């Protein structure tokens, strides 16, 4: 079981290494046991990861009880909710790579025998998952839990409610006093954003893919059950190590299809497309953007979860949690039952542990889905030849034709929305916010929520080479590839051009001939780089397009 650590700790020539570790409190017996890295993303800049130090102690307790020696480390995290609408938002997707790189470096350098990653806020779980695959040592992912919903005027609210309220306030539909009152109650404590937004989407996806124990994500961050889950995860990692199960043993094509089905049936975040493609590249599994559309077409939307539905993640836990969703999918024949999970059970065996709360309606019954097809839709057309992504809950219009309102940055668009310069029927086009052009492919929740908050969600569409928060709802199309920043056809769109969206046909077009688009692009020149040094400049130089998961070029055949 000490397949790595014995190299760095055993023998007279390793006395220096042992001496250093004894200086931190370890003794000889500790160093004779398997060394388990406990990586988390605790940080004081957000509530999302605020409980992870405490949760790590329970994980470490389980590791020790099962015969291992834990070594705790933590890495970075960027809060999308805090940085939204600022230049700081450009750092968020970049952080996924830094998280993966930093955990990989520590685990390689210190030769951990196994690793358990504790994540929450949006980029942490995919970043930790990427690190586990690169290391390919026995590993587990543990979600530290969702925030509890806030309550405002008798209704459950989340951070999305605040961003929509900003738009309502700008439109004169909400007073300053009510906005402040909502701000004060929307985030009542520790935990990741409380709908089926990106954090909860990826937590469910990691259970469906098999890297997280089924049901471990469901208890909220502040629930006492989460500590017990942590201890059990610590014990489990020792079992995984003894069985010699590696992440690449679990991450098969069938496992990825199960994860996509979980996202589709729960109305999950469009960011899952980026993250699952990135993880598939790390694992060497063929996966492309069209697979998401194919799987979503055949997967019913069973979960009535925010942002499109009525319920928060906390309510899903009350209904029985992720295992209820998994069992519904098994019973409906929508998943690969025999896919392996980290516990040693198959997907179907793990789903059989579900304890569904009688009368719950968070997860619909077979035969009565919220929608016959899943929430993810992939569009292509003459301004998105390599694809674009939209999330639909079922009540959105499926066709839209309107004039382009073109903005070359997210702040410019947001200012126009808040100034009430956007009219019913418009298509807001935000470009030069892609992986290279942004750089960093920032989210647009500030813009999209303000559009919804002003009452324009049913009449205005948005198209961008940036991306969206998992909290976004409405006819909002992102991940346009190739992006404008590298000369993609979105760069050819002019103010007033007619944009045509046809969901049923899976089309996204501008009403221009191919010759006209080519003529405009021939006269186009790329904007000057926004960063010429530092991490964002390095990212812009190495990152690929959204349809390839916005991964780094190094080490991959693209």
pLDDT at 556: 53
Same fold, 33-148+189-353 and 376-548: no
Contact 237, 358 (CB under 8 A): no
pLDDT at 526: 94
pLDDT at 472: 86
pLDDT at 553: 85
In whole angstroms, give the CA distance from residue 483 to residue 489. Answer: 8
Structure tokens at 133: 């695959």
Q: Which CATH architecture describes the domain 33-148+189-353?
A: 3-Layer(aba) Sandwich (3.40)
Structure tokens at 56: 């790590």
Is 469 labeled as catalytic in the residue annotation? yes
136: alpha, beta or left? (left if phi > 0; alpha if psi -120 to 50)? left
Structure tokens at 269: 């975040």
Q: What is the DSSP string of 430-463?
A: E-S-STTTTTS--B-HHHHHHHHHTT-TTT-EEE
Helix or strand or coil: residue 477? Answer: strand
Contact 5, 84 (CB under 8 A): no
pLDDT at 557: 54
In whole angstroms, give the CA distance from residue 164 to residue 457. Answer: 11
pLDDT at 343: 98
Q: Cis peptide leading into 193, omega within 30 of 0?
A: no
In whole angstroms, give the CA distance from residue 193 to residue 303. Answer: 17
pLDDT at 555: 58
CATH of 376-548, one of 3.50.30.80, 3.20.20.80, 3.30.365.10, 3.40.50.300: 3.50.30.80
Using alpha carbons, list the distances in angstroms from residue 487 to 366, 475, 483: 46, 25, 7
The catalytically annotated residue of 95, 469, 513, 533 is 469
Domain boundaries of the chain, sorted by first residue: 33-148+189-353, 155-188, 376-548
List per-residue pLDDT tens for the chain, 558 residues long.
999 999 999 999 999 999 999 999 999 999 999 999 999 999 999 999 999 999 999 999 999 999 999 999 999 999 999 999 899 999 999 999 999 999 999 999 999 999 999 999 999 999 999 999 999 999 999 999 999 999 999 999 999 899 999 989 998 999 999 999 999 999 999 999 999 999 999 999 999 999 999 999 999 999 999 999 999 999 999 999 999 999 999 999 999 999 999 999 999 999 999 999 999 999 999 999 999 999 999 999 999 999 999 999 999 999 999 999 999 999 999 999 999 999 999 999 999 999 999 999 999 999 999 999 999 999 999 999 999 999 998 888 999 999 999 999 999 999 999 999 999 999 999 999 999 999 999 999 889 989 999 999 999 999 999 999 877 889 999 999 999 999 999 999 999 999 999 999 999 999 999 999 999 999 999 999 999 999 999 999 999 999 999 999 875 554
pLDDT at 259: 98
482 exposed, middle or buried (CB, 10 Å; 0-12, 13-18, 19+)? buried
Which residue from 92, 160, 124, 128 is spatially nearest to 467, judged by alpha carbons? 92
CA 200 to chain CA centroid, nearest Å = 8
């Amino acid at each position: 079981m000490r397949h790595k650590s014995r190299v760095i700790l055993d023998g007279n020539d390793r006395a220096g290494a042992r001496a250093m570790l004894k200086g931190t409190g370890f003794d000889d017996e500790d160093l004779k046991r398997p060394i388990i890295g406990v990586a988390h993303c605790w940080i004081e800049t957000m509530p999302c990861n605020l409980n992870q130090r405490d949760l790590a102690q329970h994980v470490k307790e389980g590791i020790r009880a099962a015969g291992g020696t834990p070594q705790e480390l933590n890495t970075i995290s960027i809060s999308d909710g805090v940085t939204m609408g600022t230049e700081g938002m450009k750092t968020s997707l970049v952080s996924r790579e830094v998280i993966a790189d930093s955990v990989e470096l520590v685990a390689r350098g210190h030769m951990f025998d196994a690793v358990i990653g504790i994540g929450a806020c949006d980029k942490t779980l995919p970043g930790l998952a990427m690190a586990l695959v690169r290391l390919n040592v026995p590993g587990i992912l543990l979600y530290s839990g969702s925030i509890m919903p806030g309550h405002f005027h008798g209704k459950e609210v989340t951070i999305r409610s605040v961003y929509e309220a900003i738009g309502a306030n700008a439109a004169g539909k909400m007073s300053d006093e009510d906005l402040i009152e909502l701000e004060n109650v929307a985030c009542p404590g520790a935990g990741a954003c409380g709908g089926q937004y990106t954090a909860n989407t990826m937590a469910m996806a990691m259970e469906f893919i098999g890297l997280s124990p089924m049901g471990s994500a469901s208890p909220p961050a502040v629930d006492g059950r989460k500590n017990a889950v942590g201890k059990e995860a610590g014990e489990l990692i020792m079992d995984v190590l003894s069985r010699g199960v590696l992440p690449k043993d679990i991450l098969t094509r069938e496992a990825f299809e199960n994860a996509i089905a979980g996202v589709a049936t729960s109305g999950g975040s469009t960011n899952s497309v980026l993250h699952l493609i990135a993880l598939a590249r790390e694992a060497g599994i063929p996966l492309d953007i069209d697979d998401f559309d194919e799987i979503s077409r055949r997967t019913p939307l069973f979960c009535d979860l925010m942002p499109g539905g009525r319920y928060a993640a906390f309510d899903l836990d009350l209904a029985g949690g992720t295992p209820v969703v998994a069992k519904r999918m098994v019973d409906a024949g929508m998943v690969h039952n025999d896919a392996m999970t980290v516990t040693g059970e198959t997907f179907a065996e793990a789903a059989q542990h579900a304890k569904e709360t009688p009368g719950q309606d968070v997860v619909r019954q077979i035969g009565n889905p919220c929608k016959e097809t899943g929430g993810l839709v992939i569009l292509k057309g003459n301004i998105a030849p390599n694809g674009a992504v939209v999330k639909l809950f079922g009540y959105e219009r499926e066709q839209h034709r309107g004039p382009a309102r073109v903005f070359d940055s997210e702040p410019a668009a947001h200012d126009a929305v808040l100034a009430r310069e956007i009219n019913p029927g418009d298509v807001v086009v935000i470009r030069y916010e892609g992986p290279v052009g942004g750089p960093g492919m920032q989210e647009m929740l500030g813009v999209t929520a303000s559009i919804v908050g002003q009452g324009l969600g049913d009449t205005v569409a948005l198209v961008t080479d940036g991306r969206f928060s998992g909290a976004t709802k409405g006819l909002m199309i992102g991940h346009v590839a190739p992006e404008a920043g590298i000369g993609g056809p979105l760069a050819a769109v002019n103010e007033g051009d007619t944009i045509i969206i046809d969901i049923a046909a899976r089309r996204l077009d501008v009403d221009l001939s191919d010759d006209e688009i080519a003529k405009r692009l021939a006269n186009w020149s790329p904007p000057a780089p926004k960063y010429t040094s530092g991490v964002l400049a390095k990212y812009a130089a190495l990152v690929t397009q959204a349809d390839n998961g916005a991964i780094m070029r190094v080490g991959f055949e693209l």
